[in-house]
Amino acid sequence: MKNNISIENIKNLLIEYNSVSTAEADKEVTEKLIEKLMSDSIFLDLLEENWKNEIEKNQQLSVYIYDKFIFKLS
């Protein structure tokens, strides 16, 4: 079963319960996601792969980010 935790949910929690501005919440969540991605070997391998179709590569990267970091298995 997957939790419905998205970047939007995290940002909304920061804004609503921690009195963080929208811009600051965007920055904080984005920075943390980038940190996680840059230490994820599978993501880095996908990023370095050469693909004939750049759109397909971007779609695969997006799906990986979404599955791995946006939705967490519970």
pLDDT band at 41; cut points 50, 70, 90: very high
Report how far apart, in Å, the C-alpha atoms of 56 and of each of 34, 48, 49, 72 are. 21, 14, 12, 24
In sequence order, what are the residues at sequence separation of 6 or more whose Cβ sits closer than 8 angstroms to the Cβ of residue 36?
69
Of residues 71 and 65, more confidently modeled: 65
Distance CA 10, CA 41 (A): 24
pLDDT of residue 73: 41
Summarize the confidence of residues 18-36 as an average pLDDT: 88
Residue 63 confidence class, pLDDT cut points 50, 70, 90: confident
**pTM of the predicted protein model:** 0.66
**Where do the structural domains in the chain lie, given as residue ranges?**
7-70
